[in-house]
Amino acid sequence: MKGQFLTRSSDSPLVEAVTHWIIGTDESSIAAPDGCWDLVVLKQDGQTNILLTGQTTTAVPLHFAPGDEILTISFKASAFLAFVPSPTLLDQTLLLTKIGSSFRLASDVFEIPTFENADSFARSLMHKGHLCQNEVVKALLTAEPPAYSLRSIQRQFLQTTGMTYKYFRQIQRARQAAALLQTGNSAIDVAYETGFADQSHMSRSLKRILGQTPTVIAALPRL
């Protein structure tokens, strides 16, 4: 069985991407940190589960079987849920309560989203006040200097994402290096271009954050 993988951008200002993955017979994966937190609809063994996953700091192996389907709505780092402190979700996954073809999130019940209507789902979350945006974090991530002290910016980033801005930047650099490796660039050139001290430093960082060596990453179809 050949797997299928679709990904698209979103017209929601708080959604980074929407993906739909059907697992093939020869596919395996890891969940590597990407600076986003996710709502996941997992169809597996004839059952549908809705998962809320926080920001991750290290790679986690995923265990799927051929035919499993995964819909992922990835929310930007500046987005947060009003009813749960982001630090409590760091490296955590919550199983949400399913009610027929719907599920409960905070005090409301929502239809299970699809690849096509994920944007409408995000807008519903915003309309009901569950999904919010930290404007300071947004400004920081879009290279607009926030009018706050460094200490205030660091505190707000930690409260919104659950991790420090320094570690978030390490994740971004690791993923930038991975993307360059997957387009055929040599490891030594990538290490230099992405600001690592040397190739060994990059290898240790990619293994720690993304769970794979540069050689393995270069051969992967995607992270």
Which tens digits make up the pLDDT trace of 117-165? 999 999 999 999 999 999 999 998 987 777 788 889 999 999 999 999 9
**77 near 126, Cβ under 8 Å?**
no
Distance, CA of 36 to chain centre: 3
- How confident is residue 25, by pLDDT bands cut at 50, 70 and 90? confident
Residues of the chain with CATH 2.60.120: 4-133
The listed CATH number (1.10.1060, 1.10.287, 2.60.120, 1.10.286) that belongs to domain 4-133 = 2.60.120
**80 near 86, Cβ under 8 Å?**
yes
pTM: 0.93
Residues of the chain with CATH 1.10.10.60: 165-219
4 phi and psi angles, rounded to 5 deg = -130, 140
Which tens digits make up the pLDDT trace of 42-89? 999 999 999 999 999 999 888 888 999 999 999 999 999 999 999 999
Topology of the domain comprising 165-219: Arc Repressor Mutant, subunit A (1.10.10)
